[in-house]
């Protein structure tokens, strides 16, 4: 087993024991500590997102991630009051990590997120109003409306314990992981009888996409929207694969760059916008799909206000 120390934004290799040739699943374990004091941290969220393997650190800061196959993965550690550690690590056998989290600077606080959701009756599927929602350890509260919906702003990063209570229903308690600048959307049920409940369904949304109207436009079902999963699936290795659809064609522009043309409007070129600003002359082949969070494509009457173009627009949103 090898031991690795993580600080914020860098990896320090401290000591290596004999390397183990691992072709099977391994166990990744370690401890989470306060980088400033060396004290163990409880309730830190630790995991490998692409494998959906997560754990909460114990009272001694210990965590264990089981069933990790060899490869290079994104490793995340997060806790309320500390900056997020997010880096790529190579796993080729059992390994032990010491994760050092840096305390939050009061003058530069961690960007908060939001928590929204809908609660339905386990049996009928109808919205449940009047459910009291409590978030620990912050003590924030909300109540569902007649559509079963609730919203809590400015939630902190780290592990959150959610309690749902309503007269006539069995109380429900769930734990979710929150990350800086991310909006969590929950879908869950409550039962009037003490029966096994369906698991809570959590969808994470980048807060800045929500603020720029991406999800609102996606609900309107106009144009084409490519969410982060679709960008990852279609945008590698050739970003232009996302633009294969009727009425459009990718071709070389006047400067030799790849552009998208609207074949229904005389082969005029779509205008590319990046993070809300037009970027004239940029080619699709100059856009690296690895830094793209989401993409929207509109033409004609479907083009949203503020992005008017007689031909069409491509809205590219980068990872924040």
What are residue 65's DSSP bridge partners? 28
pLDDT number for residue 237: 63
Phi and psi based region of residue 110 (left: phi greater than 0; alpha: psi -120 to 50; beta: remaining): beta
Residues 6+ apart with CB under 8 A from 139: none
What Cα–Cα distance (Å) separates residue 161 from each residue in 60, 81, 140, 261?
A: 19, 16, 11, 50
Rounded Cα gap, residues 130 and 166, in angstroms: 7
In the block, which residue shows the tokens 């900056």? 83
Local structure of 233: helix, strand or coil = helix
Instruction: List the 258-262 sheet strands across, edge first.
Output: 248-252, 258-262, 268-269
Q: Is the peptide bond before 162 cis (omega within 30 degrees of 0)?
A: no
pLDDT number for residue 10: 34
User: Would you give per-residue pLDDT tens digits along the chain (320 residues)?
Assistant: 656 555 543 333 333 333 444 458 889 999 999 999 999 999 889 999 888 898 989 999 999 999 999 999 989 898 888 888 888 888 888 989 899 999 988 887 777 788 999 999 999 999 999 999 999 888 899 999 999 999 998 888 888 889 999 988 999 999 888 887 788 899 999 998 766 777 887 777 777 888 888 888 888 878 899 888 888 887 666 777 788 888 889 998 888 888 999 998 888 999 999 998 888 888 888 887 778 889 999 988 888 888 878 889 999 998 87
Rounded Cα gap, residues 97 and 305, in angstroms: 50
Q: Please say whether the beta carbons of 285 and 260 come within 8 A.
A: no
pLDDT number for residue 218: 84
Domains along the chain with CATH numbers: 2-101 (2.60.40.1120), 113-207 (2.60.40.1120), 212-318 (2.170.130.10)
pLDDT number for residue 18: 39
Q: Please say whether the beta carbons of 65 and 27 come within 8 A.
A: yes
Burial group, residue 51, by CB count within 10 angstroms (0-12, 13-18, 19+):
middle
CA-derived radius of gyration, the chain:
23
Rounded Cα gap, residues 191 and 206, in angstroms: 31
């Amino acid at each position: 087993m090898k031991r690795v120390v993580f600080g914020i934004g860098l990896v320090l290799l401290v000591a290596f024991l004999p390397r183990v040739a691992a072709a099977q699943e391994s166990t990744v374990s370690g401890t989470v500590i306060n980088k400033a004091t060396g004290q163990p941290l409880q309730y830190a969220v630790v995991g490998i997102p692409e494998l959906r393997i997560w754990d909460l650190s114990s009272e001694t800061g210990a965590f264990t991630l089981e069933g990790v196959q060899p490869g290079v993965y994104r490793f995340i550690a997060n806790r309320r009051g500390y900056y997020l550690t997010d880096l790529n690590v190579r796993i080729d056998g059992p390994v032990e990590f010491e994760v050092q989290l840096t305390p939050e600077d009061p003058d530069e606080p961690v960007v908060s997120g939001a928590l929204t959701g809908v609660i339905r009756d386990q049996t009928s599927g109808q919205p449940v109003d009047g459910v009291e929602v409590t978030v620990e350890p912050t003590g924030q509260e909300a109540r569902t409306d007649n559509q079963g919906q609730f919203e809590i702003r400015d939630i902190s990063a780290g592990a959150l314990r959610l309690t749902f209570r309503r007269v006539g229903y069995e109380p429900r308690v769930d734990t979710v992981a929150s990350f800086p600048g991310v909006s969590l959307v929950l879908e869950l049920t409550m039962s009037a009888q003490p029966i096994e409940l369906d698991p809570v369904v959590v969808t994470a949304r980048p807060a800045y996409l929500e603020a720029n109207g991406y999800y609102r436009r996606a609900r309107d079902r106009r144009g084409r929207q490519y969410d982060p999963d679709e960008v990852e699936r279609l945008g590698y290795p050739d970003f232009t694969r996302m633009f294969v659809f009727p009425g459009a064609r990718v071709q070389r522009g006047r400067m030799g760059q790849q552009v998208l043309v609207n074949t229904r409007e005389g082969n005029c070129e779509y205008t590319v916008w990046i993070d809300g600003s037009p970027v004239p002359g940029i080619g699709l082949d100059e856009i690296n799909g690895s830094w793209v969070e989401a993409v929207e494509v509109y033409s004609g009457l479907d083009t949203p206000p503020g992005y008017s173009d007689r031909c069409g627009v491509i809205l590219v949103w980068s990872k924040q």
